[in-house]
Amino acid sequence: MAAQLIDGNALSQLIRTQAGERVLQLQARGVKPGLAVVLVGDNPASQVYVRNKVKACEQVGIHSVMEKYDASLSQAELLARVEALNQDKHIHGILVQLPLPAHIDAQKVIEAIAPEKDVDGFHVASAGALMTGLPGYWPCTPHGCMKMLEHIGYNLRGKHAVVIGRSNIVGKPMAMMLLAQNATVTVCHSATTDLKHHTLQADVIVAAVGKRNILTADMVKPGAVVLDVGMNRDDDGKLCGDVDFEGVRQVASHITPVPGGVGPMTITMLLVNTLASAEQTLHA
């Protein structure tokens, strides 16, 4: 039997409706949640991502400020903007869109963001908090994946999860989140010698490599749950993930499509993190 689809658009809509209610509660207490999105340069993909983030904010009633700068902006100027946003009481979340131009040290910029406004969850303080189980913002994409597993009622305790990819943005935080839910976690990467050996043992597979068809049906245990974080183009220029969707859906119990799977959840979790930050100001 073909796998059930985990519909990221539908789940996002559900969570965004709840987010809209939280916005109203905050407003009733005199807080208008605000997100600043900073874009440097004219990377076309980044422009689309940023536009979608701003649009999603509008949809739920979060005030968004978009700051667009020429690619020639200096690192010092960008750091000064981040510092100004750190001090801005109307801004609860700061997102500096990556990649940044080559002359800017992205890590330095991320570390300049106040951890309490780090709604991307990329600051070392956020990464450390996730690793140790302390409160902090979780990176949006793996957080969205966890929400999808929660939505289908999946209990990770004692299950074997295989994460393919070890980026700081997805693979590594994903592994930490799965571990925190008592899964046994294997992280595979470009130097893994026999990927199929690992994936065949997995109850849950998260593919986050950025390479088409990294996971095919012969690599998946019947009944496994497959989450596809990839965003690639096929030979016809159509958006596709890391998973051979048509093949794997015949074997898996649940699978996320691309588009309409993990992608919309990433933006939704950004909204959720921004709201959590705004709510924190009530307790400060």
Catalytically active residues are 53, 97, 120
Strand order of the β-sheet with 4-5 is: 4-5, 254-255, 225-228, 204-207, 160-164, 184-188
Alpha helices for 62-194 (secondary structure H): 75-87, 106-112, 124-132, 140-151, 171-180
CB of 34 to ligand GUN, least distance (A): 17
CB of 166 to ligand GUN, least distance (A): 16
The answer for residues whose C-beta is within 8 angstroms of residue 81's C-beta and 6 or more apart is: 38, 67, 69
Site residues, ligand GUN (CB under 6 A): 49, 95-98, 120, 140, 266
CB of 141 to ligand GUN, least distance (A): 6
232-233 vs 239-240, strand pairing mode = antiparallel
Nearer to ligand GUN, 36 or 140 (CB): 140
Look up residue 51 and give its two tokens.
């536009």
CB of 1 to ligand GUN, least distance (A): 34
Nearer to ligand GUN, 33 or 93 (CB): 93
Nearer to ligand GUN, 2 or 84 (CB): 84
Nearer to ligand GUN, 98 or 180 (CB): 98
Name which of 49, 149, 166 is nearest 97 in CA terms.
49
